Amino acid sequence: MANCLTELGFKILNVITRAKTNQPPNLSCRYFTHNSEFIIWARKSKKISHYFDYQLMKEMNGQKQMTDVWHLPAIAPWEKTCTKHPTQKPLALLTRIILASTRPNDWILDPFAGSSTTGIAANLFGRRYLGVEQESDFLDLSKARRTEIEQLDIVSTYREKIFKQLSRQSNGYNYEPLTDAMQLNDEVSDYNISALPF
Ligand SMILES: C[S@@+](CC[C@H](N)C(=O)[O-])C[C@H]1O[C@@H](n2cnc3c(N)ncnc32)[C@H](O)[C@@H]1O
């Protein structure tokens, strides 16, 4: 995938390794347990600069530079309240990606939306979202998740749970100042989901 992007003229910025902190065991016990996924961060042109919130990432990492290896938990039960997409990603993972690389009110496109975890994370943190998905059941799931975060108590509960997963509790790091850093308000942002016209 990275080679294809390079051939297409993209500049690879990072290849991030995501390692789950609570991976279920491998029942066969015949090889190492698979526990990693890769996130390619690339920009479309070598000439046009990208946005990176270095300070916020450092702050969220106990004032140490954040590396390209991310230890985050697997999806939690509270993220499956509207049922679950078979490959649904954790909100904390998408939140870190979004906070690192976008500004408040930016538009975020996910052409393979699934249950729209990207959109939920985007809206919880003041970004706008456009998702495209070919399966109508997953569009319904996306809409249910979006309806859920129209309740402000759910918004604050979800933000709190996400911050807890993203902050380094072992360093005694307090996640509350991030609320100011991200200029959050209690309104969730615009959200659009499209079905492809098949
Ligand atoms: C890996 S899942 C995305 C999961 C998502 N990140 C989440 O957290 O729920 C990929 C999704 O892309 C959809 N998809 C695959 N090919 C597509 C296409 N050509 N156009 C639109 N959606 C497509 C699949 O139906 C599937 O729901």
Supply the mean pLDDT for the chain: 88
Atom of ligand 1 nearest to the CA of 115: 9
> What single-letter DSSP state applies at residue 83?
B
Q: Give the C-alpha distances (Å, rounded to integers) separating 143 from 54, 87, 133, 152, 185.
A: 33, 17, 12, 17, 22
User: For residue 50, is pLDDT > 90?
Assistant: yes
Q: Give the C-alpha distances (Å, rounded to integers) separating 92 from 71, 88, 96.
A: 11, 12, 6
Question: How close is the Cα of 85 to the center of ligand 1, in Å?
Answer: 10
Give yes or no for residue 89 CB within 6 A of ligand 1: yes
pTM (2 d.p.): 0.89
How far is 82 from 24, CA to CA, in rounded Å?
22
Instruction: Give the total number of structural domains in the chain.
Output: 1
> Residue with the nearest Cα to atom 15 of ligand 1?
112
How far is 4 from 8, CA to CA, in rounded Å?
6
Output the six-digit token pair for 73: 């938990």
Question: How close is the Cα of 195 to the center of ligand 1, in Å?
Answer: 11
Which range is least confidently modeled, 13-17, 21-25, 65-69, 94-98?
21-25
Give yes or no for residue 134 CB within 6 A of ligand 1: yes
Largest CA distance in the chain: 51
Output the six-digit token pair for 91: 């909100």
Q: What is the CATH number of the domain that holds 122?
A: 3.40.50.150
Question: How close is the Cα of 162 to the center of ligand 1, in Å?
Answer: 23
Range of the domain at 29: 2-195
Average pLDDT for residues 17-24, to the nearest whole number?
89
Tell me the per-residue pLDDT of 177-196, one tens digit each, with 9 for 90 and over: 454 445 455 566 777 766 65
How far is 122 from 102, CA to CA, in rounded Å?
9
> Residue with the nearest Cα to atom 5 of ligand 1?
114
Give yes or no for residue 159 CB within 6 A of ligand 1: no
State CA 26 to chain mean position distance: 26
Tell me the per-residue pLDDT of 117-160, one tens digit each, with 9 for 90 and over: 999 999 999 999 999 999 999 999 999 999 999 999 999 999 99
